[in-house]
Structure 1
């Protein structure tokens, strides 16, 4: 049996990650931990592993890579390197609370890009699913709530970025 991993289109992953201010990233991990749990069984708690994704990424990325490598798919970067970059982006983004206002106030912008290490893994999983001829339309479609999040979250994101860059 092949696990049905969660690999939305790259555009959807990027838009939802940016417009939810990074909250889509734990959702991506949650869905993939569910797939791992279905495949392996055992006491995997997908919710908590998604909440602590910066730490559990070191376990998630290699597992997902092992599923797709059975279909002769290769990841461009070692999974542990992707996990380390994901961890570091999260760490740096959260440093702002430890710096004075004038130094750390804009570090949150780095947090917007925590999805970047997910892109190679997501792309690899999409090719894996395509090689198995899985129907990925369900993962790719944008529902009404996706569109609303993109509209309102995108507006908030633009206002936040404008506030940073247009300050006089």
Structure 2
């Protein structure tokens, strides 16, 4: 289990376990990432008894073998692991990928950035994840109407 190695060093936050990794080779990274995420979700469930938040992940445009479709494939894998965890009420709580840029933030872009109108397939994955998690995890009463309308507009 990963937890034995990291227990005292990285678990300062009592209520949440932050996880991150960086890898260069895409195919190796994809295999590693799925196993790594599942092991940390298991640690969150069995050892830590708290949600696991996967942070600062992405795929650099500067990698030698980078292809734009790889980012979607990687992101889909991460989001699918988290969705399955949420459906089973496991500790895989959510994610912050690096980096999503809103309108007028393009100047902050780096080789990891996702600008929605420049990457519609990536944006679609992100919005689909938001909608399917809303169904699983529920919403605050003030969010119901907006999220319902947002998700309905994405089905068209």
After TM superposition, the score normalised by the length of structure 2 is: 0.30
TM-score when scaled to structure 1? 0.28
- The structure where helix makes up a greater share of residues is 1
Larger relative contact order (Cα-Cα within 8 Å, sequence gap ≥ 6): 1
